[in-house]
Chains A and B, each alone.
Chain A
Amino acid sequence: AQSVTQLDSHVSVSEGTPVLLRCNYSSSYSPSLFWYVQHPNKGLQLLLKYTSAATLVKGINGFEAEFKKSETSFHLTKPSAHMSDAAEYFCVFQSSYKLIFGSGTRLLVRP
């Protein structure tokens, strides 16, 4: 069955340090994968999408993710965290028309 697993429920970083949010997927075919961000009491905003065109995907706000088939991973990174990055991040698998959401990773950014 297709699924995504977010390996950390919470990640805490200091402002200005790198961010790594981990996601593994399970799929019998080449997947479409997304990262969405949800700020407190807000909707879901698309950060980036992998569609097999390139393994390194650049998104908004300085985020990027690398698709690694050998590791079945799609980790989200950012070189330098900003206070405004504090939010919940979802790794998402597209199965046909359905979006299958991971359980989310809450990112805390310390001053």
Chain B
Amino acid sequence: DAGVIQSPRHEVTEMGQEVTLRCKPISGHNSLFWYRQTMMRGLELLIYFNNNVPIDDSGMPEDRFSAKMPNASFSTLKIQPSEPRDSAVYFCASLDSTEYGYTFGSGTRLTVV
């Protein structure tokens, strides 16, 4: 199994541009999470999907952020328009109901200049 796959690994964009981060969870995992890691706030949950349905998006910072999961094998996190304070590492994680633990992707390092 290739694990949780995120793309791109690094993204540098200018303020105001749209950014799309992608995640492919482990096949058969029915829960997907997006986390953000910053120096100031550590790791925070942004949104949680179960069976492709958003269950908890209370961590999404503001309307500029949106996430979708059109099918069990793909999710996107979009920021439009991006701002320098969005610079962070964004992690995707997936979980099976019988899984020992959450499996994290390698993350996308986003830099907004």
Q: Which residues of A contact B (CB under 8 A)?
A: 34, 36, 41-46, 49, 90, 97-99, 101-104
Q: Is the CB of A101 within 8 A of B42?
A: yes
A101 to B35, CA, bound (A): 11
Mask: chain B, 90-104; 1 = CB below 8 Å from A; 0 = not: 010101000011111
Residue of A nearest to B100 (CB): A49
Q: Note all chain A residues with C-beta closer than 8 A to B100.
A: 46, 49
Mask: chain B, 1-34; 1 = CB below 8 Å from A; 0 = not: 0000000000000000000000000000001010
Q: Note all chain B residues with C-beta closer than 8 A to A101.
A: 42-43
> Measured between C-beta atoms, what is the minimum distance from B110 to chain A in Å?
14
Q: Is the CB of B106 within 8 A of A97?
A: no
> Measured between C-beta atoms, what is the minimum distance from B5 to chain A in Å?
11
> Measured between C-beta atoms, what is the minimum distance from B39 to chain A in Å?
10
Interface residues in B, total, Cβ within 8 A: 22
Query: Quick one: given A97-B31, A97-B55, A97-B56, are A46 and B101 in contact (CB under 8 Å)?
Result: yes
Q: Is the CB of B101 within 8 A of A49?
A: yes
Query: Quick one: given A43-B105, A43-B106, A44-B91, are A97 and B48 in contact (CB under 8 Å)?
Result: yes
Q: Note all chain A residues with C-beta closer than 8 A to B91.
A: 43-44
Tell whether B45 is near chain A: CB-to-CB under 8 Å: yes
A85 to B104, CA, bound (A): 19
Q: Note all chain A residues with C-beta closer than 8 A to B45.
A: 98-99
Q: Is the CB of A46 within 8 A of B102?
A: yes
- Interface contacts beyond A36-B104, A99-B45: sample of 7 additional A-B pairs, CB < 8 Å, sorted by A: A41-B109, A46-B101, A46-B102, A97-B31, A97-B55, A98-B56, A102-B42
| Selected A-B contacts with CB under 8 Å, 16 pairs | A34-B102, A42-B107, A43-B106, A44-B93, A44-B104, A46-B101, A49-B100, A90-B43, A97-B31, A97-B95, A98-B45, A98-B48, A98-B56, A99-B45, A99-B102, A102-B42
